[in-house]
Structure 1
Amino acid sequence: MERITISLDEELIGQFEEYLKRRSYKNRSEAIRDMIRDTLEADRMAHAASGHCVGTLSYVFNHEERELARRLTHAHHHHHDVSVSTLHVHLDHENCLEAVVVSGPTRQVEEFANAVITQPGVRHGKLNLIPVEVEQEHHHHGGGAHKHSHTHPQT
């Protein structure tokens, strides 16, 4: 492991120390490593629009909003190839949280997320993506061979 030294002004280091406490980091190094990883991942995703990804789309919506449930269902069906699985949680009498596992070409996943997040009545929409490499692999099981794809997170 290589060591680096950085200089921070007092105000920034104070904010950073508060961040460490809120997130329960044991040391500064791990927090900085996580921040660097997050930044590199965001940069990689910004330049990986033509690649594949896996991730989650989460959002809160008011199920009483006129026609919203129908519009959301339509978006899921229209993008069935990237919407892998959905968890639906009732928060109160009107609001629900949905977490959707997504997988596929990054542009198609982003189109699906935008189709959901931009619906009137959807709030707190957030898409989190991880770039992956998709490989077709041959396997032998028992008496036969078959071919299917595997997704490998990029390192």
Structure 2
Amino acid sequence: MAKLVRFAVSIDEKLFTKFEELIEKRGYVSRSEAVRDLIRAALIEEDLKEDKFAFGTITLVYDHHQKELTERITDIEHSYLNNIISTMHIHIDHHHCLEVIAVKGKVGELKELSDRLLTLKGVKHGKLVFTGIEP
């Protein structure tokens, strides 16, 4: 097991109160675990260089009645077969679909794929989220 290091942090009382509320809301067992999660997330985000290999998800909400949108999405996805691991398609209501795409590859390629999908007419909302193993 890695050696633990203890350190003190001084923060504004209002910020501390909000942090305590977040800890309770999310169900953390300790402040330390919450701080570790925040540090891990910041390190993963910081490590995202364009040529770095990463994993992530692209989430899209779109109007499937938009003319030719589903065909455009499929065409783009077929152009990135080496990056797409899996897709999940969910029917939200009569007009809207949710698609979650698990992806892998260089950060720049995944951003390009995401941009191509998220800027299509008829896509209502979407987001690329990177994840990784803590450094």
Where has structure 1 moved over 2 Å in runs of 4 or more?
A: none
RMSD across aligned C-alpha pairs, in angstroms? 1.6
Indicate whether 1:11 and 2:14 are aligned: yes
* 1:89 aligned partner: 90
| 64-73 vs 85-94, which moves further | 64-73
Which residue identity does 1:113 align to in structure 2? S
Stretches of structure 2 that go unaligned for 5 or more consecutive residues are none
* 1:37 aligned partner: 40
Which residue identity does 1:32 align to in structure 2? V
* Mapped partners of 1:123, 1:109: distance in 2: 20
Which residue identity does 2:19 align to in structure 1? F
Count of aligned positions: 132
Shift of 1:4: 0.7
Larger Rg: 1
Q: Higher relative contact order by CA 8 Å / sep ≥ 6: 1 or 2?
A: 2
* Mapped partners of 1:52, 1:79: distance in 2: 15
TM alignment of 1:58-77, pairs within 5 A: 58-77=59-78
Bigger fraction of residues in strand: 1
1:61-104 Cα deviation digits (max 9, x unpaired):
11112221121111111222212210101111111111111112
For residue 39 of structure 1, give the secondary structure of its aligned residue in structure 2: helix
Shift of 1:154: 6.4
Shift of 1:106: 2.0
1:6-44 Cα deviation digits (max 9, x unpaired):
011111011111211221112111111100110111000
* Mapped partners of 1:4, 1:40: distance in 2: 18
Identity %: 36
Q: 1:18 to 1:123 in 2, by over 3 A?
A: farther
* Mapped partners of 1:56, 1:103: distance in 2: 9
For residue 101 of structure 2, give the secondary structure of its aligned residue in structure 1: strand
* Mapped partners of 2:36, 2:88: distance in 1: 31
TM alignment of 1:1-155, pairs within 5 A: 1-45=4-48, 48-130=49-131, 153=133, 155=135
2:44–2:134: 8 Å Cα contact kept in structure 1? Answer: no
Which residue identity does 2:95 align to in structure 1? E
Stretches of structure 1 that go unaligned for 5 or more consecutive residues are 132-152
